[in-house]
Chains A and B, each alone.
Chain A
Amino acid sequence: DADVTQTPRNRITKTGKRIMLECSQTKGHDRMYWYRQDPGLGLRLIYYSFDVKDINKGEISDGYSVSRQAQAKFSLSLESAIPNQTALYFCATSDSRTGLNTEAFFGQGTRLTVV
C-alpha cells in the first residue's frame, strides 16, 4: 500500500548532521503524524499536524522539527543528529471527516542510523 510514502527507507548519517525525512500521502487526509519506534518502547509521537497551518508537539519533540508544506506532505527534520535518535520512524495520516475517532494509516517506515 503506497498511500503513505516515506523517503528514504533507510539512512545512515553522522552525528551532528542535519537530516530530513519526507512523507507524502495520496489519501487526501488532513491529519498527519510522525512517530518513532524503539525496541520494547512501542510507538511514540514526535509531532502532529491537523492541517497545513497547524503544528503540535508530541511526547518526544526535543531534537526534532517538522514542516507541513502542503496537505499531502509532512517532513521531519533532525537539526543535529545524535546516536540516540537511531530508530525506526513512521509517518501516519488520519481523516477528520470520518469523525474524531478514526484509525491512523501508516507508511512503511524509515530506518535511521546515526553513527
Chain B
Amino acid sequence: GENVGLHLPTLSVQEGDNSIINCAYSNSASDYFIWYKQESGKGPQFIIDIRSNMDKRQGQRVTVLLNKTVKHLSLQIAATQPGDSAVYFCAENRSGGSNYKLTFGKGTLLTVNP
C-alpha cells in the first residue's frame, strides 16, 4: 500500500538568520553522530560529525552540539543562505566494535526565505 502522508518537521528562516535544527536520539550507547544535508533529487551529503567524547564541534558556518545527558544533538547554521534549503538528517552509530552502521532520524526540512 501507499505510505501515509507523514510530514517532516519544518523550519523556515529568513536569509541571513541563524538556524538551529534539533535531533533526539534514543540509544545511550551511540558513540558517533553525523549531520547530513539532502537537496531535492540528490543523495545525502556529509556536513559535520561529532564523537561522543566531545560536546561541540565547529565547521564552516556550522556547529554541532551534543548533549549526552538528554540524548540531544543540534546543528546550528550561521547566516543561513538560500542554498542551505534542504532536508537535514542526523545519524547515529548505534553500536561499537566492528558492527558499524548508521541509523538515521526522520529529517527536518529547512526552508530559507530570501
Contacts and interface: CB of A to CB of B under 8 A. Distances in A.
A40 B98 contact: no
Nearest to B51: A101
Interface stretch (A12-20, A43-51, A63-71, A73-81): A43-51
B43 A41 contact: no
Contacts of B7: 40
Contact of B98 (A42, A50, A102): A50
B1 A83 contact: yes
Interface size band for B: 20 to 34
B46 A40 contact: no
Given A83-B1, A103-B34, A42 B43 contact: no
A106 B44 contact: yes
B8 A45 contact: no
Contacts of B34: 103-104
Contacts, number: 78
A109 to B, nearest CB: 5
Interface residues of A, number: 32
B106 A41 contact: yes
Contact of B100 (A44, A94, A105, A106): A94
A8 interface: no
Contact of B46 (A38, A101, A105): A105
Given A107-B43, A109-B42, A40 B6 contact: yes
B93 interface: yes
A94 to B, nearest CB: 7
15 contacts: A33-B101, A39-B3, A39-B6, A40-B4, A41-B106, A43-B91, A45-B102, A100-B32, A100-B93, A101-B93, A103-B34, A105-B46, A106-B43, A106-B45, A109-B43
Given A100-B32, A100-B96, A109-B43, 12 more contacts: A33-B102, A35-B104, A40-B4, A41-B3, A41-B106, A42-B89, A50-B98, A90-B44, A96-B100, A100-B93, A106-B36, A109-B42
